[in-house]
Chain A
Amino acid sequence: MAESEVLRAPHVIEYTYTRSTGPVIGAFLTGLRDGRILGATTPSGQVVVPPTEYDPITSEEVGDLVEVGQSGVVTTWSWAATPLKDQPLERPFAWALVRLDGADTAMLHVVDAGGPDAMETGMRVTARWRPRAERVGHMRDIECFVAEGTP
């Protein structure tokens, strides 16, 4: 039988998980819905964003959640030239770690920069939110980050 006679067909595997957030991630997501970005204060004196339930260094329980800035610094990034289905943006974008003002850790998100030449480690970016009515308490309530000063 010729190679061309081999049958092919789409084969989709899909799991529709719903998971409980726990109190800390739940508060973080609730904050996103309200247009605020929250971090956790840790016993070792850091502000962790997104917040964890435990201090990543000492494993102690974290303290109060605090609001951090909506702008920050790109600490590292990678250009996604051909976005895949269901990725945050349909046009080419940068995956980036963004350390927000007032935070000690960087958060993974995307930067809508137009092209890789517009990306630079250390550049300042600011959150672009979805309209309030579209926000559901999800990381994608922040549509993307854009270079600070972008209208």
Chain B
Amino acid sequence: MSAEADTAAHDEGPVTMLATPIRIDYEYTAGLAQSRYLKGIAEGRFLGQRCPTCGKVYVPPRGSCPTDGVPTTDEVVLGNRGIVTTYCVVNVPFQGQSIEIPYICAQILLDGANIAFMGLIQEIPTDEIRMGMRVEAVWVDEKDLGPTMESVKYFRPSGEPDAAYETFSEYL
């Protein structure tokens, strides 16, 4: 907008609206456990941590077991595949949306993990997604891998038979 047009716009009438942007600049520190996880991501693999007391494997690891309150020092390399435990088809546009709607946001239980995490599902019509579907991670090209979740492009059906409900029901 030119200065002249801008000035003209100001003269249109009384002020009725006010822009009040809020911006907070943080420096995020990932912490020890999540830093390990992100470095694993940069190598194209999912790293979890096992609780020495209950044996559960957490991914992404937070460095301690929320149940037993002990450090999870034992690192576990998890598989590239897992189960869709539950999902949501997103049909609603919102500001800042980076994925074309409709898309599927799913809770994915990686093989070897005892907690599901959130992932994007692609390469399947949204009406074909289902609980128990087997999926696999699709990574960016090796040269583009980095310590960021953007290294995982999405998950897609692996083609394996669906997992039985009993195998993941405790993770819902």
Contacts and interface: CB of A to CB of B under 8 A. Distances in A.
Interface stretch (A70-78, A94-102, A129-137): A129-137
B38 to A, nearest CB: 6
A21 B16 contact: yes
Interface in B31-59: 31-32, 34-36, 38-39
Interface of A is mostly: mixed
Contacts of A135: 10
Contacts of B28: 8-11
Given A10-B25, A17-B19, A133-B3, A33 B32 contact: no
A133 B2 CA distance: 11
B29 A17 contact: no
Nearest to B26: A11
Interface in A92-151: 132-133, 135-138
B125 interface: no
A58 interface: no
B21 interface: yes
Given A1-B35, A10-B27, A133-B6, A17 B14 contact: no
Interface residues of A, number: 32
Taking residues whose C-beta sits less than 8 angstroms from the other chain, chain B's interface range is 20 to 34
Nearest to B15: A137
Interface string A35-64: 000000000000000000000000000000
A10 B24 CA distance: 10
Given A26-B14, A30-B15, A133-B7, A6 B32 contact: yes
B30 interface: yes
A1 B23 CA distance: 33
A8 B21 contact: no
Interface of B: 3, 6-7, 10, 14-32, 34-36, 38-39, 147
